[in-house]
Structure 1
Amino acid sequence: MEKYVLVIDEGTTGTRALIFNQKLQIVAQCYEEFTQYTPGEDKVEHDAMEIYEKSVAMCQKAIGEAMISPEEIACIGITNQRATCLVWDKQTGESLYNAIVWQDTRTAALCQELNAGEWGEKARKTTGWTLAPVYSSMMLNWYINNVPLIKEKIEAGEALFGTIDTWLIWKLTGGKKHAISYSNASVMGSLDLRTGQWYEEFLTFLGIDTKIFPEIITDSGDYGVVLKDILGAEIPITGVIADQHAALFAQGCRTAGTGKITNGTGSFLDINVGTECVVSDQGLNTVIAWKIGDVMTYALEGYESVTGSAVQWLRDGLEVIAESCETESLARSVEDSNGVYFVPALAGLSAPYHDPFARGTIFGITRGTKKAHLVRATLEGIAFRLKDIMDVVANEAGIKMKSIRIDGGASKNNLLAQMMADMMDVQVDRPFSVEATSLGAAEMAGLYVGLWKEADFDAALTIEASFIPEIDADKRNKAYDGWKEAIKRSMNWNY
């Protein structure tokens, strides 16, 4: 009997469940968006129970569409939106407040204050991340100081803390497993990257007791068993890996010096740097890519939190498009952006600027500016931000990358892929399936139960299209000079 792997791919805007067969092919997938709560300009929240319930519903639906029985599923892999976190009651299983999303910037002022003191460099050198609102530890500090019920429950020993993967594991196993993977733990701003232990000195300074933190487990490992009444069978969870790390693994970037870009809600450029923990001095983050067995693999990462979600803003906020897929044809309807620059700093700027006070800005508008120019400028803004990050990677690593692989929903846009090649001056390779994040989670889970060996993954992704630079250096530099001026003017806007 053929065995299958079920993957829960928990994104920032929705949840997806996929069924992979033993040939690593997707035989069914179901997706549903969940609610985005923005109670303030600096706040982004999710309803954790809504996420759990929709995750279960999508899993049940995918199993039905694949026309298989739950008993045929060998294991489950989970990949998720990383630093988003919550606190819940360990007796009732209820969230004590909405989950705070990784895009949230409510702790920006405190982060700036800490960065100006001894903890700025100390935390960065230990956690691998510039101290910023994306730290789950800063979100937890906010919970403790602003939600009396959470402080009360923690002090009474009745609360647990974790990221969305931890929450799903705990719920699916009926509260039997409170765990997190090394990859997810490494993006919480709470982990000592070199020891692989919680950074107790910093957490104590923030007034946090690590007793509420989850157990850290290898990314391919034992995360307990899903209760039978949830999916119809007791299915082991054997792979849990952060979304960007999963894509890096699935894209074949399993050796030092290889890299990928994932274009989803945000865009993430990750470079495998091997088994040595290298902390960037030029604005990049260091993460644990994954831990398999006793081997810890590290990566350097630069990201912009708002790229694909800038397109979503065009659709839902500005309402100039009805569907995200319209952007390519609209942008192609004009020769260029007519001098318009759109800095998509809707939630501040990430690497290499790390400015939570920057705000989305549009420059160069004239009476001749049309909707198509703004749409094209939005796509160009994504490409420019990736060039920002790629240039730092080149300086940090001392190499000029010649090619890079892309995945994620926005990577289906051929014009955006070409813009990336033009701006970064690299060959951009896109696989047939852009669901690399889900594939990485499936591979991690299947490894643990012996469905596959790592060598089996080399043929799992084949290149569907390659994009090579089509503009010369002068045109690239002129466009980028304008971009740098736009960036400069958008920074510290909300300070």
Structure 2
Amino acid sequence: MEKYVMVIDEGTTGTRALLYNKDFQIVGQSYEEFTQYTPSEDRVEHDAEEIYNKSVEMCRKAMKQVEAAAEDISCIGITNQRATTVIWDKETGKPLCKAIVWQDTRTAERCAEINNSEWGKKCKQTTGWTVAPVYSSLMIEWLMKNDEKVAKRLQDGSALFGTIDTWLVWKLTGGKKHTISYSNASVTGSLNLQEGKWYTEFLDYLGIPIAIYPELAEDSGDYGETLPELFGSAIPITSCIADQHAALFAQGCRENGMAKLTNGTGSFLDLNIGENSVVMDGADTVVAWKINGKICYAIEGYAAVTGSAVQWVRDGLKFIKSSSEIEELADSVLDTNGVYFVPALAGLGAPYWDPFARGMIIGLTRGVTNAHIARAVLQSIVFSIKDIIDAIYDYTKTKVKDIRIDGGASNNNLLAQMFADYLDCRIVRPSSVEATSLGAAELAGLYSGFWKEEDLERAMVYDAEFSSQMEKELREKSYSNYKDAVKRCSGWMADK
């Protein structure tokens, strides 16, 4: 019987399980969305129990597609949305509250307070991250101040904290493993990058007990075994890696200077910078992965609202019925007719770090149609990434000439061409944009012996390239107009 590597790909809006064969082909997969809870404008929450249950269900469905038994699964790899905070009872395994999602901005004012204190610079230099609502540590602090029940359980040691990878491993192993991969840990705002240890000085300042934190683990390694009753017999879990880091690995960006761009709910640019950590303004530094005792770092910038801006065009404006339809609508006009859209629906990330900014459409005239607005939305995705690339260049003087794109939105040919035009670089797209799950599969398979390192050279096949077709003057004028629009919406909610 053929053997497989199974991957649980835990996104921000849904759960996917995939089976990879020896030739890196996806032979079975199942996907289902889970509930998004938005009790107020600044809050985004998930039900961790629902996520776990759907993960198991999707795995069973994917296995059923190829009639695979547990014995046919060599190992499991997990990749996940990052920084989302889960708190649960360590005896019952039940979540004590809704998980706070990385898009949540309830801690925005606290972040501003910290950034204006001595801790702002100290945290940036130590964790590699500008203090922002994505910090899991600040989500925990918020719960300790605002949820008496959770605070008591965290203080008396009867509750545990973890990100989604921690939660899934803990549940799948029946509570035998309370771990977090280095890649995920580096996005919590709780890790000392240089030392590879929890940033206890900052956690003490926040009043968070270090005992609730999981054990740090290499991204490719032993994460225990699943409970036998889940899939028929125990299956080893041999990798956990944060989603953007997994895509960087799968895209072959395993050497210093190589970059990838993942376009999903948000868009994430990651540039491999090797074994020496560099902290810069305007972007974040993360642990790309830790394997065989060695840490590899990456510079990352993310735009929180890109694919979700397309969802807003679909669900909010109702211009389209499915997200994929935006390409045809936007391509039906030659330009935006002077319209600019700032995708600050949840504030602005790198390089602005302005949680109080709000989305804006500017340049409207009677000649503007839904097609022009749709095209402006796609254009804003590209400008969000250009902001990040320019910030990296200003610090490193390194021009990114080649970017490998992945994620569902990368199937949009118009968007891919816009990236090439406005970023003035070569864009390369793989034949499969499921790079995130492939990275988790590769790391799991390497540890289990399913693949050898040389096998990875044939894992990613590229099917399209895009190069700039735009004149420099038009590129610079359009981007200048966009930056003017950003200034006009900055800090909109600060005093409201």
**Residue 449 of structure 2 aligns to which amino acid in structure 1?**
G
**SS at structure 1 position matched to 2:261:** strand
Other-structure match for 2:488: 489
Other-structure match for 1:283: 282
User: In the TM superposition, what are the counterparts of 1:122-271 in structure 2 within 5 Å?
Assistant: 122-271=122-271
**Residue 114 of structure 2 aligns to which amino acid in structure 1?**
L
Query: Is the contact made by 2:336 and 2:375 (CA closer than 8 Å) also made in structure 1?
Result: yes
State the shift of 1:454 in Å: 2.0
Deviations 1:244-274 (A, max 9, x none): 0000000000000001000000000000000
**SS at structure 1 position matched to 2:409:** helix
Other-structure match for 2:355: 356
- 2 CA distance for matches of 1:251 and 1:434? 10
Other-structure match for 1:477: 476
**Residue 273 of structure 1 aligns to which amino acid in structure 2?**
I
- 2 CA distance for matches of 1:157 and 1:113? 29
Other-structure match for 1:337: 336
Other-structure match for 1:95: 95
**SS at structure 2 position matched to 1:40:** coil
Other-structure match for 2:26: 26
RMSD: 0.8
**Residue 416 of structure 2 aligns to which amino acid in structure 1?**
A
- 1 CA distance for matches of 2:60 and 2:317? 35
- 2 CA distance for matches of 1:332 and 1:362? 19
**SS at structure 1 position matched to 2:78:** strand
User: In the TM superposition, what are the counterparts of 1:54-93 in structure 2 within 5 Å?
Assistant: 54-93=54-93
Other-structure match for 1:325: 324
State the shift of 1:456 in Å: 1.4
- 2 CA distance for matches of 1:343 and 1:387? 13
- 2 CA distance for matches of 1:378 and 1:231? 43
State the shift of 1:231 in Å: 1.6
- 2 CA distance for matches of 1:66 and 1:368? 53
Deviations 1:431-451 (A, max 9, x none): 000000000000110111111
State the shift of 1:29 in Å: 1.0
User: In the TM superposition, what are the counterparts of 1:39-54 in structure 2 within 5 Å?
Assistant: 39-54=39-54
Other-structure match for 2:426: 427
State the shift of 1:459 in Å: 1.5
**Residue 260 of structure 2 aligns to which amino acid in structure 1?**
K
- 1 CA distance for matches of 2:395 and 2:432? 30
State the shift of 1:366 in Å: 1.2
Deviations 1:418-438 (A, max 9, x none): 001101000100000000000
**Residue 197 of structure 1 aligns to which amino acid in structure 2?**
K
State the shift of 1:398 in Å: 1.6
Deviations 1:373-408 (A, max 9, x none): 111111000011111111112222222122110000
**Residue 180 of structure 1 aligns to which amino acid in structure 2?**
I
State the shift of 1:297 in Å: 0.3
- 2 CA distance for matches of 1:56 and 1:345? 35
Query: Is the contact made by 2:282 and 2:392 (CA closer than 8 Å) also made in structure 1?
Result: no
**SS at structure 2 position matched to 1:325:** helix
Deviations 1:271-314 (A, max 9, x none): 0000001111x211000000001111000000101100000111
State the shift of 1:455 in Å: 2.1
- 1 CA distance for matches of 2:240 and 2:95? 21
State the shift of 1:157 in Å: 1.5
**SS at structure 2 position matched to 1:161:** strand
- 1 CA distance for matches of 2:452 and 2:492? 50
- 2 CA distance for matches of 1:126 and 1:453? 35
Other-structure match for 1:440: 439
Query: Is the contact made by 2:336 and 2:376 (CA closer than 8 Å) also made in structure 1?
Result: yes
- 1 CA distance for matches of 2:202 and 2:461? 44
Deviations 1:149-188 (A, max 9, x none): 1111112211000001100001101111111000000000
**Residue 125 of structure 2 aligns to which amino acid in structure 1?**
K
**Residue 343 of structure 2 aligns to which amino acid in structure 1?**
P
Deviations 1:191-246 (A, max 9, x none): 00011110000001001011000011000011110001112220010000000000
- 2 CA distance for matches of 1:421 and 1:320? 26
**Residue 409 of structure 1 aligns to which amino acid in structure 2?**
G
State the shift of 1:2 in Å: 2.9
Other-structure match for 1:458: 457
Other-structure match for 1:365: 364
- 2 CA distance for matches of 1:157 and 1:389? 41
**SS at structure 1 position matched to 2:311:** helix
1:405 aligns with 2:399: no
**SS at structure 2 position matched to 1:129:** coil
Between stretches 151-160 and 253-262, larger displacement belongs to: 151-160
**SS at structure 2 position matched to 1:169:** helix
**SS at structure 2 position matched to 1:59:** helix
What is the total number of aligned residue pairs between the two structures? 494
Deviations 1:72-115 (A, max 9, x none): 00100000001011110111111111000101110000110110
**SS at structure 1 position matched to 2:195:** coil
State the shift of 1:66 in Å: 2.1
Q: Percent identity?
A: 62
Structure 2 unmatched ranges of 5 or more: none
State the shift of 1:139 in Å: 0.3
State the shift of 1:415 in Å: 0.2
- 2 CA distance for matches of 1:339 and 1:423? 16
- 2 CA distance for matches of 1:277 and 1:213? 23
**SS at structure 2 position matched to 1:39:** coil
**SS at structure 1 position matched to 2:38:** strand
- 2 CA distance for matches of 1:246 and 1:93? 27
State the shift of 1:490 in Å: 1.2
**Residue 291 of structure 2 aligns to which amino acid in structure 1?**
I
Query: Is the contact made by 2:69 and 2:231 (CA closer than 8 Å) also made in structure 1?
Result: no
Structure 1 unmatched ranges of 5 or more: none
Query: Is the contact made by 2:155 and 2:209 (CA closer than 8 Å) also made in structure 1?
Result: no
- 1 CA distance for matches of 2:210 and 2:292? 24
**SS at structure 2 position matched to 1:248:** helix
**SS at structure 2 position matched to 1:211:** helix
**Residue 453 of structure 2 aligns to which amino acid in structure 1?**
E
**SS at structure 1 position matched to 2:58:** helix
Tell me the TM-score normalised to structure 2 length: 0.99
- 1 CA distance for matches of 2:115 and 2:290? 29
State the shift of 1:463 in Å: 1.1
**SS at structure 2 position matched to 1:342:** strand
Query: Is the contact made by 2:128 and 2:193 (CA closer than 8 Å) also made in structure 1?
Result: yes
- 2 CA distance for matches of 1:174 and 1:428? 44
1:302 aligns with 2:294: no
